[in-house]
């Protein structure tokens, strides 16, 4: 039985863990609080408390159990609210170094398309990222460091804006007025596609790979969120559209071309959340 640990059993990590467990994987994971780890255990997931401070704040026996796996998925989004970004970078490096000491064979790092600035252009995996914000800079530093490792399979997957049944930007935009960049395209990906893409990478380790994940269609923010709010019976948002709105497109068909991945949600209009 193949085994995997998911560091970060949050909004994405928990569904991913359940998905892999349903496929027969031996799945473990971590939360950064004792209470969170206990909640995961109540859901019948083997879970441990792990906090990056940036030292690994975890019981040594628990660390051994967490890292006694074939593969490690690092799913800890950097946040200026929860982490000092320098601590975040060093914490991820410390975690990876421990994984290497425990003979983990395959690492997947969940990154973000926020490594690219909000400017016009088509951004595929060949474009060198030039992040404008500190979070993007932290992600790029980790990406480059990971691809400097040898003797281990390592994948980096950059997700576009995440959407799921209980998470959709339309809820925070509903009813707002004079929202800028209404003419800019959306770059979104559904959580189900994210889980299936990570599964595919886990099943096909091959040294070092970099992939984007984003739906192929990119309606404008104004069209998409207005129509989505209307379908959900929400108060309509009002956008300001300008000819100067950045036309930023995330290209994400490399994983399909190389690994045969098929998006279940290639169009953001297929990502309508279940009504609240």
Give pLDDT, residue 8.
93
Mean pLDDT (the chain) is 93
Tokens of 8: 């970060």
Whole-structure pTM value = 0.94
Chain segment 92-149, per-residue pLDDT in tens: 999 999 999 999 999 999 999 999 999 999 999 999 998 888 899 999 999 999 999 9
Q: How far is CA 51 from CA 54, 91, 101, in A?
A: 8, 9, 19
Pick the residue with more confidence: 70 or 165? 70
The contacts of residue 227 (CB under 8 Å, 6+ apart) are 269
Binned at pLDDT 50, 70 and 90, residue 165 comes out as confident
Chain segment 220-252, per-residue pLDDT in tens: 999 999 999 999 999 999 999 999 999 999 999
Could you write out the DSSP letters of every residue in 80-106?
TTT--HHHHHHHHHHHHHHHHHTT--E
Phi-psi region of 81 (alpha: psi -120 to 50; beta: other; left: phi over 0): alpha
Decide if 24 contacts 40 (C-beta within 8 A): no
Tokens of 203: 């099943």
Residue 79 has pLDDT above 80, yes or no: no
How many C-alpha atoms does 120 have within 13 Å on its Cβ side?
8
Binned at pLDDT 50, 70 and 90, residue 85 comes out as confident
- Number of other residues whose CB lies within 10 A of the CB of residue 90: 17
The contacts of residue 67 (CB under 8 Å, 6+ apart) are 5, 98, 99, 102, 104
Query: Angle of helix 134-146 relative to helix 85-101, nearest 10 degrees?
Result: 20
Decide if 140 contacts 115 (C-beta within 8 A): yes
Binned at pLDDT 50, 70 and 90, residue 275 comes out as low
Work out whether strand 248-250 and strand 161-163 pair parallel, antiparallel, or are unpaired.
Answer: unpaired
In three-state secondary structure terms, 210 is: strand
CATH code of the region 3-164+188-216+248-270? 3.40.50.720
Give pLDDT, residue 47.
96
Decide if 77 contacts 43 (C-beta within 8 A): no
Query: Could you tell me what percentage of the chain is helix, strand and coil, using 3-state DSSP and rounding each to the nearest 5?
Result: 35, 20, 45
* DSSP assignment letter at 178: S
Q: Report the alpha-carbon distance of residue 255 to residue 67 in Å, rounded.
A: 27
Binned at pLDDT 50, 70 and 90, residue 80 comes out as low
Chain segment 201-218, per-residue pLDDT in tens: 999 988 899 999 999 999
């Amino acid at each position: 039985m193949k085994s995997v640990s998911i560091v970060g059993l949050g909004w994405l990590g928990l569904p991913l863990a359940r998905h892999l467990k349903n496929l027969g994987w031996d799945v473990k994971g971590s939360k950064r609080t004792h209470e969170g780890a206990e909640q995961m255990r109540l859901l019948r997931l083997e879970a441990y408390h792990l906090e990056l401070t940036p030292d690994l704040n975890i019981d040594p026996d628990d660390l051994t159990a967490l890292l006694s796996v074939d593969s490690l998925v690092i799913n800890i989004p950097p946040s200026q609210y929860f982490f000092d970004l320098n601590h975040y970078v060093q914490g991820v490096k410390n975690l990876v170094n421990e994984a290497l000491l425990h003979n983990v064979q395959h690492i997947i790092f969940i990154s973000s398309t926020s490594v690219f600035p909000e400017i016009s252009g088509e951004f595929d995996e060949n474009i060198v990222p030039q992040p404008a914000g500190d979070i993007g800079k932290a992600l790029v530093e980790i990406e480059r460091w990971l691809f400097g490792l040898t003797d281990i399979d390592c994948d980096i997957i950059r997700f576009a804006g995440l959407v799921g049944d209980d998470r959709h930007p339309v809820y925070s935009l509903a009813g707002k007025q004079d929202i800028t960049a209404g003419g800019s395209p959306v770059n979104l990906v559904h959580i189900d596609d994210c889980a299936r893409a990570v599964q595919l990478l886990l099943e096909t380790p091959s040294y070092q790979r970099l992939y984007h994940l984003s739906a192929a269609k990119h309606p404008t923010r104004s069209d998409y969120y207005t129509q989505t709010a209307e379908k959900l019976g929400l108060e309509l948002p009002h956008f300001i559209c300008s000819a100067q709105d950045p036309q930023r497109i995330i290209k994400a068909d490399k994983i399909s071309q190389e690994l045969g991945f098929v998006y279940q949600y290639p169009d953001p209009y297929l990502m309508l959340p279940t009504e609240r």
